[in-house]
Amino acid sequence: MATVKSKNIRVRIAPSPTGYLHIGTARTALFNLLFAKHNNGKFVLRIEDTDLERSDKKFEKDIIESLKWLGLAWDEGPYRQSDRLEIYEKYVNKLLNENLAYYCFCSKEDLETERQTMLAQGLAPKYSGRCRDLKSEEVKKRLDAGASHVIRFKTPEARVTFKDLIRGEISFDAALLGDMTIAKDPKIPLYNFAVVVDDEEMKISHVIRGEDHIANTPKQILLQKALGFKTPQYAHLPLILDPDRSKMSKRYSATSIQEYRDQGYLPQAIINFLAFLGWHPKEEREIMSLKELIKEFELNRVQKAGAVFNIEKLGWLNMQYIKSFDNSELAETLGVAATEENLKIIDLTKPRMKKLSEFKDLAGFFFNLPEYDSKKLIWKTTPISTTLENLQAVEKLLSELTEKQFSKENLESVFSEITKERGRGEVLWPLRFALSGLDASPGPFEIMEALGKKETLKRLQIAIQKLESRS
């Protein structure tokens, strides 16, 4: 069972602004927040933007806005690595001065030749260390001449073992790693070095991230020891998988939070859904708020196996949250004026709406009657003349009612006699179709209440004219 040892819990989410916020990164952010808040800790946002060629401010903006939209509020940040270059430089120089790192001048071609040679010999490729023992005079000469270079860490040939809070003990042979590159120069650190410095400087107690980072962990632990840093506790989350159990990709579903937002998913539904991708509560529950998740979240309930992304389950959850909204709240979410008429329309549409984006299609007929073929007005084998007579009788019946009498309950009562006399399907099918112009819609009484007397009679007259022109 995973245990939490640190009293001062500090976790972080550290996305790179090289793309829109990925659904997997959002899940990692959520688990970090849940863990921090459950243990009265702090949740830190850090933007890892040292990849100057690929980093883009528009992606940083999307990351920040998407996290806010999801309700994942951080306690500190956003910190940006691009603002911290002098800090990295200090620690790179520390390793260089202590002879724990060195300048490497090997060309890409030389490195590729080495790699191919090792592969041909059946060996795991790693850097040979040919620049490890260059004399300081030679290093200075090459640097002064502007020779292309990187900075490598002298990886000790030791076994690195750590306890993962989800996976238990994990061990690596560091001799297989070779001397890893930690920076392009003292002011341009690479990922594994920068993250180690940041985690120390920001006093991160727990690193909770995807299992695809497991291979980075021994490298980072070695750097921590060389720099005299504390090693945080690690917890590696299961990957999110597509239905065929491959790593999540765009083949099956959208991968960015922005795409789900645009499609009409609610943040509450996404949070609920993401929490259950690799974690489960003590009792069988399907719907949990962020507050409830925080109260119950523990790392020992995170699974090791990959979590399959089920878009149907997300759709079902989204539908439940839409149903839970009161009509005024949903109107605001949809960007629709909360008029009495609109609230009635929302009330009718809400039970059938899986996504907010479906409102236009489901409710569009209330605002504009679709064009339809008069054949659609016919119930089964009912003659056209009979259908016409039935709609004319309905028109006469409704014209005698007041606007106040256009309520669902009253209309059901008013229609009880005419449906007994003329047949329920023969009356209500053409009436519903005349009102909606759709094969599937709410019932005619609900529609009439939402439309009101004037619009109901107008649509009935259109249907009657269609049938008259046919007969």
| Catalytic pick among 247, 250, 304, 360 | 250
In whole angstroms, give the CA distance from residue 213 to residue 84: 23
Residues 6+ away with beta carbon under 8 Å from 119: 125
Alpha carbon of 98 to those of 94, 102, 135, 227, 421: distances in Å? Answer: 6, 10, 15, 10, 99
In whole angstroms, give the CA distance from residue 395 to residue 417: 15
The question of whether 90 is a catalytic residue gets the answer no
Identify the CA nearest to 199 among candidates 163, 219, 224: 224
Identify the CA nearest to 336 among candidates 351, 324, 350: 350
In whole angstroms, give the CA distance from residue 266 to residue 70: 9
C-alpha dihedral sign at 243, 249, 255, 260: negative
Q: Quick one: tokens of 380?
A: 């089964």
Beta bridge partners of 103: 151
Q: How many helices and strands in the chain, by DSSP H and E?
A: 18, 13
Site of tokens 């039970």: 351
Q: Quick one: tokens of 250?
A: 């765009």
By CB atoms closer than 10 A (0-12, 13-18, 19+), residue 400 is exposed
In whole angstroms, give the CA distance from residue 12 to residue 29: 8
Annotate 36-98 with DSSP letters as a single string: HHHTT-EEEEEE----TTT--HHHHHHHHHHHHHHT---SEEEEEGGG-HHHHHHHHHHHHHT
Residues known to be catalytic: 250
